[in-house]
Structure 1
Amino acid sequence: MTYTAELITHKNKKRIAVWYPNSRELINRFKKLEDARWSATLKVWHLPDNKENRLKFDLEPEPKTPHIKFDKIEEIENFKKYLNTKRYSPNTVKTYSEALQIFLLFYNDKETKSINNNDVINFYNNYILQKKLSISFQNQVVNAIKLYFKTIKETAIILEKIYRPKRERLLPNVLSKEEVKKILGAHSNIKHKTMLCLIYSCGLRRSELINLRPNEIDSKRNVVVIKQGKGKKDRIAPLSPSVLLLLRDYYKTYKPHTYLFEGREPGTKYDERSLSEVLKQALNKVNIKKSVSLHWLRHSYATHLLESGTDLRYIQEILGHKSSKTTEIYTHVSIKSLQNVKSPFDDL
């Protein structure tokens, strides 16, 4: 029998779809297979994705991956509920619950209440360090462990003795004003152009741009109102008159319904990956080879403000930084003061 088999996900279940020549005899034979079903939507017969059916239709065997025990799944679900009640953002809930799952899976055969501080250290040494995972990931794990073990009554963990890795002192990536100008002028598509211009001109995070609504552009006061940014904080950022003109042209063309920048379906948010692709296309057009991310535009905005003489306290407010120490990092990448330093090489 000539057929084509493929792994699919249908109605949130893993299935094996099988295509073969239309024949009453073949259909009758297929119907006799356990849990064989016809999908009117996909126009194909499909079966459960299991070892037996993979062998039957010459598909690769399913890789062996450890399954977290049911009691730990329940604990993770309860942890998610706790984070949601504390109004953590969806991204934070996802990040922390996934970090906790990795940690609990590492101790799958050990009762959660008997996991202790030595186990945490062992996890650092034999999982994070061996896999050469980042310090930021280790910090996520620390946050998740601390929050989780704070919520359960029986624990051998002493929260105060869970240490954090030494923070890396990384400087933010900054573009020159000339590079920013090239990037922002790369697109002729007014939607793409406006999104990138608004990110730079207001120092927005990617998620903040995507969540903006039309009524949060206050044209009378020339400000953008950023609702529930990082840390669930509202703030305002000054709006450039030039960007306001661009926004008006964009609005007349696209007439957004719910969000300022919407996806293909009216009322839906613009996709984060598509926004990153917009930047990537701009970089290609102007032949900038650096691995620029959207966050570079935010860093560049802050640095350029500092170099133009804006007080750090105002920059902190505009960016929505909780601590002034976060904003002070831009003093290390500003070249305004460095330009006045004469190299002794010039006197040789």
Structure 2
Amino acid sequence: MKKLDLKNDCIGKNPIIRIEFPYDFELKELVKQFPGCNWDIKKKVWWVSYADNRLTELITFFKGKVWLDYSQLKKVEIPKAQPVLPPLIASLEIEINKFEDWMRNKRYSESTIKTYKDAVIIFLRFLENKAIVEIENEDLEKFNKEYILARGYSSSYQNQVVNGIKLFFQNRRGIKFNPEIVYRPKREKLLPNVLSKEEVKSILDSHQNLKHRAMLCLIYSCGLRRGELLNLKIMDIDSKRNILIIRQTKGKKDRVVPLSPKIIELLREYFKAYKPTIYLFEGHKSQGKYSEKSLESVLKQALVKSGIKKPVTLHWLRHSYATHLLERGTDLRHIQELLGHNSSKTTEIYTHVSIRSLQKVWSPFDDL
């Protein structure tokens, strides 16, 4: 009889039960049928929320179908439910809408507008719809301690919230809140995730579907962000000059990257087969651009076919592109321009994951 291993884990601060098993299509389809079962993209595992009676439910559901090994499953304390925040009142909704219009008029990106708007909304709801003119800096400190830190959110999220709240109050007059004395938290210094050239080749060669292969190859060969690939139009490819024009990317900038002869040949083959009309990569049933969700699915399928177990994302291909350029001796300034970074400090992080210099380092262990 097939076996499922049940283990403890957490998502954020919420306890879960991992359901582990070697890949088996029929077993996967059975596990999916358990009520409330989810697939975690990052952890690459099926899971259900933890509850005192969850094991009994699992045993009842899978009885006679599979053998459950719950020897590693332990009883855990379930954290108290977080208080529900009140909905935003109408007068504050009007202020939020004005703020949204102001950002859009200032040509902020739609993703930034949504992030900042959501940040201000959750802040005002946390303060239980306190009048804007009565909000003080101490309220933000309380929000940071009792909402952001209490829920274990990252410093990156905290920075986004602070940025949104500061911008909102910079556009208000006659208030007690002073945005100028608000300080942002220190960012975590995380190294980029990089794949070996062999791993990249395995991922790129995994798809027989020409469109899927072309999308992944173009991301790696040009160091593209996900949105940059999906926003590409046919006119952005200059095959005579062997360049790709990436228009109005992060920071409202255009940039140019070189196209290798191999990628141009692949794109020509793709173009003949699919005949896109406006966007370089279009949806199956329309002339609109390919969806983000579908592109992520393309990568997931490639990882399964290539047998790579790492929690690879599309951005890993961009990181790998930059690191592999550096390892081949490309000047850091050129890499900065190719990636579209404003600051050279952003690009310098790849020097910490490049193995070109590390391979020259002698280890004293070799002399023992």
Q: Which residue of 2 aligns with 1:70?
A: 90
CA distance in 1, matches of 2:251, 2:294: 25
| AA of the residue aligned to 2:356 | K
CA distance in 2, matches of 1:65, 1:99: 14
| AA of the residue aligned to 1:162 | V
Q: Which residue of 1 aligns with 2:186?
A: 166
Deviations 1:37-63 (A, max 9, x none): xxxxxxxxxxxxxxxxxxxxxxxxxx9
1:98 aligns with 2:127: no
Deviation of 1:208 (Å): 0.2
- Asked if structure 2 preserves the Cα contact closer than 8 Å seen for 1:257 and 1:266, the reply is no
Q: Residue 110 of structure 1 aligns to a residue in which SS?
A: coil
1:142 aligns with 2:195: no
Deviation of 1:66 (Å): 2.3
Equivalent residue for 1:129, pick from 149, 154, 157 = 149
Deviations 1:119-150 (A, max 9, x none): 11110000001011111110111110111111
Q: Residue 227 of structure 1 aligns to a residue in which SS?
A: strand
Q: Which residue of 1 aligns with 2:260?
A: 240
Q: Which residue of 1 aligns with 2:331?
A: 311
Q: Which residue of 2 aligns with 1:255?
A: 275
Deviation of 1:284 (Å): 0.4
Deviation of 1:117 (Å): 0.9
Q: Which residue of 1 aligns with 2:135?
A: 115
1:272 aligns with 2:292: yes
1:191 aligns with 2:241: no
Q: Which residue of 2 aligns with 1:201?
A: 221
Question: Are residues 138 and 64 of structure 1, via their aligned partners in 2, closer, same or farther at CA, if it must alter by over 3 Å?
Answer: closer
Deviation of 1:65 (Å): 6.2
CA distance in 2, matches of 1:128, 1:115: 18
Deviation of 1:333 (Å): 0.5
Deviation of 1:159 (Å): 1.6
CA distance in 1, matches of 2:153, 2:118: 15
Deviations 1:179-203 (A, max 9, x none): 0000000000000000000000000
Equivalent residue for 1:213, pick from 233, 237, 248 = 233
CA distance in 2, matches of 1:330, 1:290: 19
Q: Which residue of 2 aligns with 1:55?
A: none
1:329 aligns with 2:353: no
- Asked if structure 2 preserves the Cα contact closer than 8 Å seen for 1:69 and 1:108, the reply is no
- Asked if structure 1 preserves the Cα contact closer than 8 Å seen for 2:85 and 2:125, the reply is no
Deviation of 1:265 (Å): 2.9
Deviations 1:161-215 (A, max 9, x none): 1111111010000000000000000000000000000000000000000000001
1:227 aligns with 2:247: yes
Q: Which residue of 2 aligns with 1:44?
A: none
Q: Residue 244 of structure 1 aligns to a residue in which SS?
A: helix
CA distance in 1, matches of 2:129, 2:227: 38
CA distance in 1, matches of 2:337, 2:164: 28
Equivalent residue for 1:288, pick from 280, 299, 308 = 308
CA distance in 2, matches of 1:65, 1:142: 19
Q: Residue 234 of structure 1 aligns to a residue in which SS?
A: strand
- Asked if structure 1 preserves the Cα contact closer than 8 Å seen for 2:237 and 2:245, the reply is yes
CA distance in 1, matches of 2:155, 2:85: 26
CA distance in 2, matches of 1:253, 1:308: 34
Deviates more, 1:145-154 or 1:328-337: 145-154
CA distance in 1, matches of 2:118, 2:282: 29
| AA of the residue aligned to 1:74 | I
State the superposition RMSD in angstroms: 1.2
Deviates more, 1:284-293 or 1:257-266: 257-266
Deviation of 1:305 (Å): 0.3
Q: Residue 228 of structure 1 aligns to a residue in which SS?
A: strand
| AA of the residue aligned to 2:186 | K
Q: Equivalent pairs: percent with the same residue?
A: 61
CA distance in 2, matches of 1:68, 1:285: 47
Which is greater in Rg?
Answer: 1
CA distance in 2, matches of 1:315, 1:334: 13
Q: Residue 244 of structure 2 aligns to a residue in which SS?
A: strand
| AA of the residue aligned to 1:149 | F
Deviations 1:190-247 (A, max 9, x none): 0000000000000000000000000101101111100000011100111111000000
